[in-house]
Amino acid sequence: MKRLEELERGEHLICCHECDELSYVSDPYRSGRYNCPNCGTLLFRHRKGLVEKMFALSVAALLLLLLTNYFPFLSFKVAGNTSEANFFTSAIYLFEDEQFLLAIAVLMTTIIVPLIRIVLSLALFGALYYGYLPSYAPFVLRALHHSLPWGMIDVLLVGVFVSMVKLVKMGTVIPGISLWSFTALVFVIAAMQVVYNPHPVWEHIDEARRKKGVI
Amino acid sequence: MRALEHGYSACRVCHQLVRLPKEQGGRYLLCPRCGEEVHARKPNSIQYTWALVIASMLFYIPANVLPMMHVETFAGTQSDTIISGVLYFLETGSYLIAAVIFIASIIVPITKLLILIYLLVSVQRKDPMHKKSRQKLYDLTELIGKWSMVDVYVVALMIALVHFGGLTQIKAGAGANYFLLVVIITMIAAMQFDPRLIWDIKEKR
C-alpha cells in the first residue's frame, strides 16, 4: 500500500479502463505497445516523434480535406444529363426534402466531426511542435477523446464504393480528383489514430502546471 | 490488484489515477487533470444499456419493413428496403457488394444487440465464466458499431448523385431514419455499458 501512495501521481502506475486492473509500467517511454496484463486490452502505444508525426499528418489531412471539398466528388451521367456531387450536396438535398435527422447525421459524421478533429489536432500539435504548450491543450485532448467514435469518414469510403457499383448500372460514373484525395484522407486519418497517444501530452501539461505551482 | 479494491479509479479521458473520496460514497469526483467526471463505475450503466438496447430493437423493426429510399422516375416510383437492396445486388451478380450491405446492415446490428444482451444478462446473473472472451466480445461491439452506417451513406450519396430535376430523383424513405436511429442508439448503448462490471464478479470458491 505504501508503494501505491508513492505512485499516486499515476505516472507509472496505470489502471486499465476496461477491466480496472492496476499495473506497473517500468518505462512508459520505451517504444512499443502496452497491454493490460489481466485482460490484454491495449492501454497505450508509444513511439518516438509523436508531435512531429501528428503535426505532419494533421497538415496533410487538412490539405486533403480542402482538396476533397473543392472539386466535385463524383459526376454521374445518364442520357445527356449530368449531375455532380460534392460533400455537401447530399446534406443539402436531404435538408430540402425535410429529412433533418438524416441530413444532420450525415453532415456531422462525415464533414463537421472530421474537420473539427483535424483542426483541433493541428492547433494542438502545431503549437507543441513549435515548443509552446497552449492553454487549450486539455480541452483539445478531451474533445479528441469524446469525438473519436463519431468521425465516420472510413465508413463513408465503403459507402462510396457501394453506391458507385449501384450507379454504374444506371449510367456513367466519373470519379473526380476529390475521390482520390478522399481515399488518401481516409488513410491519413487512420494513421493519425494509430500514432495518437495522449499520455505524453498529459504529462507535459502536468509538468508545466507543476512548474507554475498550480499543483 | 484491482483499482476499486484500493479506492482508486482512472479518469476515462486522461487516464489519471485518482483516489476516490469516501465521503461521497467513494463514487464520484472531477478529474484533477482534465476536469472530466470520474466514477468508480459508470452510474446506472446496466439500466441505461438495457433501455437503449430495447429502444434500438424496437426501431430495428420499422428500419427493415419501411423503405430505405424511393426512386422516382417518369415511369413511377420504386421503393427499396434493406433486404430488397441486397436481393437486387444478388440478382445482378454483384455478390461482393451484396455481402457488404448484408453484413453492414443486417449482421452487424443484430450481432451487436445480441452481444450486448448476453453481456447484460451475464453481468446481472453474476456469471464468473469466460471473462476474457466477454471482454473481447465487448471490444468487438465497439469496433463494428459505426460500420452499419454504410447503408445510410449509400442512400445519402444516391440522393446527391441521382438528382435530375423532375425527371429522376431519389428520396430518402422513413426506413433510413429508423435505421440511422438504430445505429446511433446501439453505439450509445455500447458506450454506456461498463466492461469493468464483467471483472467485478468474484469467482465462486
Average pLDDT over residues B41-61: 92
Nearest Cα to Cα of residue B158 among A73, A182, A180? A73
Together in a domain, B80 and B21 = no
pLDDT digits 0-9 by tens, B153-203: 988 888 888 877 667 788 888 899 999 999 999 999 999 998 988 888 887
pLDDT of residue B23: 57
Cβ-defined contact of B163 to A202 (cutoff 8 Å): no
CB contact under 8 A, A102 and B3: no
Distance from the Cα of residue A166 to its chain's centroid: 29
Cβ B150–A159 below 8 Å, yes or no?
Answer: yes
Do residues B68 and B179 make contact, with C-beta atoms less than 8 angstroms apart?
Answer: yes
**B34 neighbourhood in chain A, CB within 8 Å:** 138, 141-142, 202
Of A83, A145, A165, the CB nearest to B164: A83
User: Given this model, what pLDDT does residue A1 score?
Assistant: 42
Domain presence at residue B82? yes
Question: Is residue B25 assigned to a domain?
Answer: yes
Say whether both B106 and B32 belong to one domain.
no
Q: Which of B147, B149, B160 sits opposite A90 (nearest CB)?
A: B160
Number of structural domains found in chain B: 2
Comparing alpha-carbon positions, the chain B residue that sits nearest to A167 is: B158
Across chain A, which distance is largest between two alpha carbons, in Å? 79
Query: What confidence tens digit (pLDDT) does each residue in A40-49 have?
Result: 888 888 888 8
B48 and B34 in a common domain: no
Residues above pLDDT 70, as percent of chain A? 94
Mean pLDDT across B123-136: 87
Considering only CB atoms, B172 lies closest to which of A7, A10, A94, namely A94
One domain for residues B142 and B81:
yes
Instruction: Please tell me the distance from the alpha carbon of residue B26 to that of residue B10, in angstroms, as a whole number.
Output: 13
Cell 482508486 locates to B8
The residues facing B28 across adjacent strands are B39
CB A163 to CB B2 under 8 A? Answer: no
pLDDT tens digits for B65-87? 999 888 887 778 888 888 888 88
**3-state SS of B36-102?**
CEEECCCCCHHHHHHHHHHHHHHHHHHHHHCCCEEEEECCEEEEECHHHHHHHHHHCCCHHHHHHHH
Same domain, B188 and B101: yes
Residue B205 counted as domain residue: no
Residue B29 forms part of a structural domain? yes
Contacts of A1 in chain B (CB under 8 A): 6
**Please, what's the largest Cα pairwise distance for chain B?**
73
Cβ of A149 and B187 within 8 Å?
yes
Q: Mean pLDDT, to the nearest integer, of B4-25?
A: 77
**What's the pLDDT score for residue B183?**
93
Q: Which residue of A has its CA nearest to B131?
A: A39
> Binning pLDDT at 50, 70 and 90, where does residue B51 land?
very high
Q: Which domain holds residue B36?
A: 1-40
Is there a contact between A85 and A74 (Cβ–Cβ < 8 Å)? Answer: yes
Contact indicator for B145, A149 with CB cutoff of 8 Å: yes
The pLDDT of residue A128 is 93
- Yes or no, beta carbons of A167 and B196 under 8 Å apart: no
Q: What is the least distance, in Å, from the CA of A47 to any CA of chain B?
A: 18
Candidates A5, A20, A136, A205, partner chain B, best to mutate (most B CBs within 10 A): A20
Amino acid at A71: F
Binning pLDDT at 50, 70 and 90, where does residue B204 land?
low
pLDDT in tens, chain A (215 residues): 445 554 555 457 888 888 888 888 877 778 888 888 888 888 888 888 889 999 999 999 999 998 888 887 777 877 777 777 777 888 888 888 888 899 999 999 988 999 999 999 999 999 999 988 898 999 999 999 999 989 899 999 998 888 888 888 777 888 888 888 999 999 999 999 999 988 888 888 888 888 887 65
Is residue B21 domain-shared with residue B72, that is, in the same domain? Answer: no
Cross-chain Cβ contact A163/B158 below 8 Å: yes
Looking at residue B146, its pLDDT comes to 86
Nearest to A21 among B1, B12, B160 (CB): B1
Contact A93 B159 (CB under 8 A): yes
Question: Are B30 and B98 within one domain?
Answer: no
Mean pLDDT of B124-146: 88
**Binary contact (A165, B150; C-beta < 8 A):** no
Q: Is residue B132 part of a domain?
A: yes
Chain A residues closer than 8 Å to B171 by CB: 97
Same domain, B94 and B16: no
State how far the alpha carbon of A7 is from the alpha carbons of A12, A13, A171, B8, B19, in Å.
Answer: 7, 7, 66, 12, 12
- Residue B19: CB atoms within 10 A of its CB come to 16
CATH number at residue B142: 1.20.140
Sign of CA dihedral A166, A82, B68, A88: positive
Which residue in chain A has the smallest CA separation from B88? A166
In this structure, is residue B6 part of a structural domain? yes
Same domain, B99 and B66: yes
Write out the H or E segment, with its range, that includes residue A59: helix A50-70
Let me know whether B18 and B117 are in one domain. no
Q: How confident is the model at residue B24 (pLDDT cuts 50, 70, 90)?
A: low
CB contact under 8 A, A156 and B101: no
Residues of B in contact with A19 (CB under 8 A): 131, 135, 195-196, 198-199
| pLDDT computed for residue B52 by the predictor | 96
DSSP notation for A93-113: HHHHTT-HHHHHHHHIIIIIH
CA distance B126 to chain A (A): 15
Beta bridge partners of B171: B70
Antiparallel, parallel or unpaired: β A32-35 and A22-24? unpaired
The answer to whether residue B157 sits within a structural domain is yes
End-to-end Cα, chain A, rounded Å: 23
Give a yes or no: residue B133 inside a domain. yes
Domain shared by B27 and B80, yes or no? no
Would you call A81 and B1 a contact, using CB atoms and an 8 Å cutoff?
no
Specify whether B163 is located in the same domain as B71. Answer: yes
Nearest residue in B to A89, CA atom: B160
